[in-house]
Homo-oligomer: A and B are copies of this chain.
Amino acid sequence: MGRWEPNTRQRLAKAALELYSERGYEQTTVAEIARRAGLTERTFFRHYADKREVLFDGSGELRDLFVAGVSQAPGSAAPIDAMAAGLDAAAGPFTDRRTFARQRQAVIGANAELRERELIKLASLSAAVAETLRGRGVPEPAASLTAEAGMAVFRIGFERWIADGEERTLAELMRDSLHELRTVIGADRSAREGAGSPSSPG
């Protein structure tokens, strides 16, 4: 105790996730997490407000990366391309964490309170991205719609990334999901154009 441990935070997070996976989130206490990590409860509370926060530790970093990616896109980039740059930037820290992300999502999926918390975090991420887009001069409702479309791509790309056997990177799957979204959103227009072309060649 008192000695500075460079990886204390990660050790606590790893121990917490192991215990949540083994015996369930509700059944795990902070004392048990600290014991598993070879640390004290007091050390736990120096790093996390409660046992829930261990699971949402990365939210601030994710938001900062996403927002930085959007705001650093070239000024000439269309809103959707600025958003795509944000998705690319946000994908970075996940690269080596697929197993951790899978376990985390399983724990969250099994608990209503954690699912609500996750939705709140995503909603506030969406709000931050919309604000960044407005800062780039994108008017409403385009800014909010672009941000929400980005969240849909993020969420669904993430779900695909943690699926069993999936080997593509999160960045690839998000780009693929964005492409797919463009296809479905543009679908009726191209269908109409396709349907109309034989009878109206001009």
Contact = CB atoms under 8 A, between A and B. Distances in A.
Interface in A106-145: 112, 115-117, 119-120, 123, 141-142, 144-145
Contacts of A144: 152, 156, 159
Interface string A136-178: 0000011011101101110110011000000000000000010
The prevalent SS among residues of A at the interface is helix
What copy number does this chain have within its complex? 2
A155 B119 CA distance: 14
Interface residues of A, number: 38
A153 B184 CA distance: 14
B156 A145 contact: yes
Contact of A148 (B156, B160, B191): B156
Interface of A: 77-81, 112, 115-117, 119-120, 123, 141-142, 144-146, 148-149, 151-153, 155-156, 159-160, 177, 180-189, 191
Given A149-B185, A181-B185, 4 more contacts: A79-B187, A116-B117, A145-B152, A148-B151
